[in-house]
Structures are given as structure tokens and as C-alpha cells.
Amino acid sequence: MFTWAPVIEPDTGFLTQTLSEAVQNQRLNGEAFIATYAQLEGEYFLPSALNRSTSSGDPPLNDTVAAFGVWLTEFLPSLNTSTRARLETLYPVEGATETIGAYNQTWVRAELVFRDLVLACPGHWIAGGAKTGGYQIEYTIPPTNHGDEAQW
């Protein structure tokens, strides 16, 4: 899996630092921010095999704990063992969220990791770094996929 992201080029003067650095250094270019993400944001970005009961691909992906580990290793190859263990604790095999309720699927678990890492956390950083006001919105009107909130 590959996620497109901005290219940071310190020498060009265009994007000279990462979002986390800009927030930490209080260098966001704006007074107020609204950040949004959808409840099931990751659906379009995950391997569909994670939502199947049978194995497919090499390595095999399906709705199992082992397949989640394979996906996680491919998605975050630099994750060290202790951080990975912490992530797996925060996103358990069976869990619940404020808006989804109970889940026990690898697909939903991976969606939550992707959503939070790629969209929710950066949005939270931006909202928190606003000079006069920052807000973050979780869009929960079904189907709640990537971009569904844009119409509103």
C-alpha cells in the first residue's frame, strides 16, 4: 500500500517542513482551521482482501489477526516492536468506538488505524495549532467513506 503525501523540500521554499514540525513550531499559515474526516475513512485505501474470510494474495490477506499483522507491517514498515504492540492494544481485535459501536473485524480495525494516522491525527494537530480557533469534525452520516463530508 502506498499513500500519496506532500513532498517536503527544505531548499525550494514551497513545503519546507512536515505538518508535525509546522504545528510544533507554531508555523501554520492561518488564523482558524476546520479539519474533517469520515467515520470509516480508510475503506478506499485498504486492500479489499482484509474484508474476506478466505486468503488471497502473497502474503495472504483476509479477516484474521495474522493478516492484520501483515497489513500493519506493510503499511508501517518502520514501526518498532514496542510501538506496534502499543498500537495493537489501542486498536484491539474486538473493540468499540464512540460512533461505530462494537467491532470484531480486521477490516474495521485497519480502517480505524488508517483513519487516525492519515487523517484524524493530522486534523487534530491543525485544529490545535490555530491561532484564534480550531475545530475538528468526524463525519458520521452513512455511508461515512472518504470524501462523503465534502458535500456539506
pLDDT score, position 2 = 41
Amino acid at 28: L
Mean pLDDT of the chain: 86
pLDDT score, position 90 = 96
pLDDT digits (tens, 9 = 90+) for 59-93: 778 999 999 999 999 999 999 999 999 999 999 99
pLDDT score, position 108 = 93
Whether 14 is in a domain gets the answer no
Amino acid at 51: N
Whether 13 is in a domain gets the answer no
Which residues are within 8 A (CB) of 60 and not within 5 positions of it... i.e. 6 or more apart? 49, 67, 70
For Cα atoms 135, 86, 106, give the angle at the middle one, nearest 5 degrees.
80
Whether 5 is in a domain gets the answer no
Residue 2 vs residue 147, higher pLDDT: 147
Whether 42 is in a domain gets the answer yes
| Whole-angstrom distance, CA of residue 90 vs CA of residue 32 | 30
Report field, pTM of the whole predicted structure over 0.85: no
Whether 4 is in a domain gets the answer no
Whether 73 is in a domain gets the answer yes
Whether 115 is in a domain gets the answer yes
| Whole-angstrom distance, CA of residue 115 vs CA of residue 49 | 18
Q: Which residue range forms the structural domain that includes residue 87? A: 19-151
pLDDT digits (tens, 9 = 90+) for 84-123: 999 999 999 999 998 888 999 999 999 999 999 988 988 8
Whether 134 is in a domain gets the answer yes
For Cα atoms 108, 109, 112, give the angle at the middle one, nearest 5 degrees.
85
Given a cut of 80, is residue 3 above it in pLDDT? no
Strands (E), the chain: 32-38, 95-97, 101-103, 133-139
Residue 87 vs residue 55, higher pLDDT: 87
How many domains does the chain fold into?
1
